[in-house]
Amino acid sequence: MNMRRAISSAIYTFAGVIGVLAFVYPFLLDMPATGSLGVAHGQDAMLVTTTLVGLSLVALLVELQGQAISAKTVALLGVMVAIASVLRFVEVAVPMPGGFSPIFAPIILAGYVFGGRFGFLMGTFTMLTSALITGGVGPWLPYQMFTAGWVGMTAGWLGQISRFQSPISNVIHAGGWRLEIALLSMFGFAWGLLYGAIINVYFWPFAVGTAEQSWAPGIGVGEMLARYTTFYVATSLWWDLVRAAGNVALILLLGAPTVRALTRYQRRFHFEVRSAHA
Amino acid sequence: MLDARVWLVWALTMLVMASFTRNPLYLVLLLLVAVVVGSVCAPKQGRGTVTSPLRFAALALPLAAVFNALTAHLGDTVLFRLPDRLPLLGGPVTLEALVFGAMNGLTLTTIFSAFAAFNQVTPVRDLVRLTPRAFHEAGVVLSIALTFVPQTTRSIARIREAQATRGHRVRGLRDWLPIVMPLLVSGLERSMGLAEAMVARGYGAVSDRPQPLRTQGLLALGLFLLLGGWLTLLFLPSWKGAAVGAMVVGAVLVVGVVWWVGRNVSHTTYRVHRWTARDTLAVLGCGLALAVATVPLPLLDRGTLYYAPYPRLAMPAFDPFIGLGLLGLLVPAMVITGDPE
């Protein structure tokens, strides 16, 4: 069992590192510029990165579903994904201001209550299903799936921190549900900005080319971060701020009743009858 | 109707070609191909896309051009100068940087248009059918989600009607609470019923076995090789051969595990799509386009695929043979036009 757990941890770690590296590799490069002012490399890198992200997502899904998913989890996941996907459909049909998207709040709240694994799957499948119904399939989809999966997974970690006995959880319990919702709102705000910043990185080296503010092989990490920050502030910050504010508004408004409802159903979903010899 | 796998190959070829070339003439050609294929092959009642390619182009092209022009102070043809005291923006604004930015926007528009066409021409059920057998549980989740999407939409309409009869009106975000909560609770209740029905029909009776240790081990090894190869490629470029080799072996291992796991999953299809000569022709067309870009054929000037407007703007070169090869991506539109269905 220990061996199985160790290999499983290795799969999560390798897939996670590949995912993180796919987003941060432009900041780590330190090699001489290639032809066409480094542009050719940027294009190869995008194809290689998209393939690697796709393969690690595939490996992660094989591992996740290999851990015996119960019928209740499958049904719950399917229905929750459907609800979140319909919200994405609403977002597409009725254009909302900036990057406001109602799909992150359900992913965060579900991950918070049902745990990191459920949150990861919910984020991943919500992006996949909503892309299928809204015609959003493209090379950007593996990145969106990975990032939304991280949103759900980290929400699960937040839930674990607040539930396990620790000085932090004691503070959260002392603060009551208001503090819990405030914490979730801050988490939603942070992910509203982070989601945009992360998704931008995947096309940044490819989209903007060789400029003082863009990706160019051979420049240092600090310089690269400064350029990316300028690019992000100039092109995406206001857009992502609307998303972050939208997450906060939705969690403040719907968070408490949703967490209560999900917690009630979590108890019902975990109820199992096992035979004596099982 | 072409096979969904053909459309996948077509979209991926478009992605590779649009990423491969920096020549705006070839990019415009690819964009036209995507537009023609999308408009000829898309069913009249097909799915829409998140944003229309035209709207995307109207946003991406000027934004990328202006942003690059204001921030990249490269090139000889100075249009005007911004005061040096402006951080990062200060310096000469050049025609070359403007063109380079527009080229970046054009590349993104081409990729976007290709996938917009792909989304329009491929029915959702065919895309779901492409799910590898190894992702049985994932496929079930996806099927449930897709099945419940119309039901959820109807539920929203019903709940809104019910609330409206009580005098409730949606004026702001706060007014969504009486709609979202019944939707969530009814969805959870439905999932409970669905889970019980699945268990009653034997779901999970055989799939509760964990993954064999060997499968997990191979998966971990595949990811390790992919990661190791990639890190070597990024930080030790002189070891490129070994790095690429490790990545290829890693990719083969991951794909092999997916195939191996899928072998044990029985799969039934009610309507089998037969591979036809049209499908073969369309794939050959994609192969032709890939060949002109990647195979060093004697008649082709592959150097024309790369173009940079720096230091002074010049007309990009165009090889008509490469242009003809790229037109291989039009084959799906040609074979569909001749299809009596």
Complex ipTM: 0.79
pLDDT value at A130 more than 80: yes
Tokens of B22: 């920096």
Chain-chain contact of B211 with A253 (C-beta, under 8 angstroms): no
- Residue A211's pLDDT band (boundaries 50, 70, 90)? very low
- Identify the burial level of B334 via C-beta atoms within 10 angstroms of its C-beta, where 0-12 means exposed, 13-18 middle and 19 or more buried: middle
pLDDT at B72 over 50: yes
Q: Which of B144, B151, B240 to mutate to probe the A interface, most A CBs <10 Å?
A: B144
- Residues in Cβ contact with B338 at an 8 Å cutoff, skipping those fewer than 6 apart: none
Of B14 and A52, more confident: B14
Asked whether residue B48 carries a pLDDT value surpassing 70, the answer given is no
B179, pLDDT greater than 60:
yes
- Percentage of chain A beyond pLDDT 70 is 72
Would you tell me which residues 221-240 of chain A have a C-beta closer than 8 angstroms to some C-beta of chain B? Answer: 230, 234-235
DSSP 8-class letter at B305? G
Nearest 5°: the CA angle B48, B52, B58 is 175
Cα dihedral B53→A204→A235→A249 (10° resolution): 90
Buried b (16+ CB within 10 A) or exposed e, B241-268: eebeebbeebbebbbebbeebbeeeeee
pLDDT higher than threshold 80 for residue B111 = yes
Is the Cβ pair A209, B72 closer than 8 Å? yes
Of B138, B204, B216, the CB nearest to A7: B216
Here the tokens at position A9 are 């941890």
Cα atoms in the Cβ-side hemisphere of radius 13 Å centred on A40: 11
Burial class of residue A276, CB neighbours in 10 A (0-12, 13-18, 19+): exposed
Chain A interface mutation, best of B174, B198, B219, highest count of A Cβ atoms under 10 Å: B219
Q: What dihedral angle (degrees, nearest 10) is formed by the CA atoms of A59, A60, A62, A68?
A: 160
Q: Mutate which of B107, B119, B191, B264 to disrupt the A interface (most A C-beta within 10 Å)?
A: B191
CB B304 within 8 A of CB B23: yes
**Cis geometry, peptide bond prior to residue A257 (ω within 30 degrees of 0):** no
Residue B93: what are its φ and ψ, rounded to 5°?
-100, 120
Closest by Cβ to A59, choosing from B128, B219, B307: B219
| Of residues A63 and A170, more confidently modeled | A63
- Residue that is written with structure tokens 């102070």 in the block: B73
Between positions 239 and 268 of A, the ones with CB within 8 A of B are: 249-250, 253-254, 257-258, 261-262, 265, 268
pLDDT at position A33, please?
37
Q: Is B63 exposed, middle or buried (0-12, 13-18, 19+ CB in 10 A)?
A: middle
A129 → closest Cβ in B108, B142, B224:
B142
Provide the pLDDT for residue B280: 93
d(CA A193, CA A246): 11
Q: pLDDT tens-digit profile of A218-265?
A: 556 666 677 677 777 777 788 889 889 989 999 998 888 999 999 888
A200 and B CB contact within 8 Å = no
pLDDT of A208 higher than 60: no
Q: Is the pLDDT score of B206 beyond 50?
A: yes
Q: List CB contacts (< 8 A) between A46 and chain B.
A: 19
